[in-house]
Amino acid sequence: MTIFILFSFLISLAAFISYLNIRFLKLPPGIALMLMGALISIGLALTGRTSPEFTNYIRQKLSAIDFSEFLLGILLSFLLFAGSLHVSYQQLKKSALSVLTFSTVGVLISTFLVGIGSYWLFMLFAVNIPFIHCLLFGALISPTDPIAVMSILKKVGISKSVEIKITGESLFNDGIGVVMFTTILEIIVNGSEHASISSVMLLFAREALGGILAGLVIGYIGYVLMKSIDHFQTEILISLSMVMGGYSLCHYLHVSGPLAMVVAGIFTGHKVLTEVMSDNTRDYLEKFWEVTDEILNSLLFMLIGLELVVLNFHIYYILLGLIIAICLIVFRYMSLWIPASLFRFKKTLEKNTLKIMTWGGLRGGISIALALSMPTTAYKEPLVIITYTVVLFSILVQGMTMEKVVKKLKV
């Protein structure tokens, strides 16, 4: 009953915030929910300063939910499938080289740039965090969040070519980022002395390639089943089973669930929605996943706001997070420019594409969830606070100025 009451409160709060936003603020949903979630968490944290009993009460209620497991194991599968369902396969195919390169090589470059940069910055500010944990931070903060990005792109006038590069990269680099994070975390847990280059590469390949293959299989099974019927209730149930059963299977097989959901979503959007569904069923299925996406997004940002109440925020780490957030913009551009130049497709990109992708590289709830899933050590709390500061800066500063930046660059 405690969990039901908690989720009832979160849904009611999210509905109230969504109403205020649609009625008065008129911001992209992701920005509005993140802003309100931040304000609520700050208000609750200040209340907790004067009333420790209140903080203990919130901590006790939140202990009923494993936040990281809830997001990475449940919410993420639904959000990635829903997001990739509406990605144009034809547009993605045209930009396949750039999307694949940015979401793999780009994430790898960014992870090391952020890891090295944050390590030296921590040393400069006398914060003792080992290099391997800085790399872990680089892995969790490098991927752009498709949930945050796609909610903002809906309101920004941008060419389809640039839009597909941003959304496609954000969907795939999210999966690659989780794989990178898992790989580095395993090195930390098992000890670097037990990790060879071949074992690390094998682990990475199994997670990434296995996830892509699993996504194709899940998508094809769904395609075969839906092709043989025309009953929207059953087809919605099949799509749900693809997400829930498919993600659970990936967890059992130790392959990347996020990548599998992205691939399955794109496959379903391309083959099922366009080829085998009646107009009536397609309309119901699209609306179902659109509503599901909105509800889970609301839950995500409200949960983040509550989860942060139990952290001890230090102004020192917040300032450090703001510095890193600014540095990340430079690292983001470098992680796009290097592979674009290296693989010689920079000249084929539209003018200012890399600049738009840099500013549109928003971080979101997935980075916070990964940070919260780190093992409990002396380094966890400062990294979680820094991550939250970076995410807040990214969504509120970059997200709220995205439209102006696009107009200024005339893309």
Average pLDDT over residues 156-184: 86
The string of DSSP codes covering 254-271 is TS-HHHHHHHHHHHIIII
Residue 275 has pLDDT above 70, yes or no: yes
Sign of CA dihedral 84, 70, 149, 95: negative
- Neighbour tally for 192: CB within 10 Å: 9
Condensed to tens digits (0 to 9), the pLDDT of residues 300-316 reads 777 777 777 777 778 88
Distance, CA of 79 to CA of 202 (rounded, Å)? 28
Whether pLDDT at 228 is above 80:
yes
Kindly state the average pLDDT of the residues 138-150. 84
In this model, does residue 1 exceed pLDDT 60? no
Task: Provide the pLDDT for residue 387.
Answer: 93
Do the Cβ atoms of 349 and 97 come closer than 8 Å? no
Residue 8 identity (one-letter amino acid): S
Tokens representing residue 411 in the block? 């893309």
State the pLDDT confidence band at 48, using cuts at 50, 70 and 90.
Answer: low
CB 142 within 8 A of CB 107: yes
Output the CA–CA distances (angstroms, integers) from residue 183 to 2, 71, 189, in the order listed: 35, 19, 10
Amino acid 192: pLDDT: 64
CB count, 10 Å around CB of 214?
A: 23
Q: How many other CB atoms are there within 10 angstroms of residue 109's CB atom?
A: 21
| Rounded Cα gap, residues 282 and 272, in angstroms | 9
CA triple 54-57-62, angle to 5 deg: 130
**DSSP alpha helices (H): ranges in 95-145?**
96-101, 107-124, 131-141
Inter-residue contact 139 to 181 (CB < 8 Å)? yes
What is the average per-residue pLDDT within 189-207? Answer: 77
Kindly report the pTM of this predicted structure: 0.88
Q: How far apart are CA 45 and CA 57, in angstroms?
A: 12
Which domains, ranges and CATH numbers included, belong to the chain?
Answer: 2-409 (1.20.1530.20)
- From 96-105, 247-256, 371-380, the region with the lowest mean pLDDT: 371-380
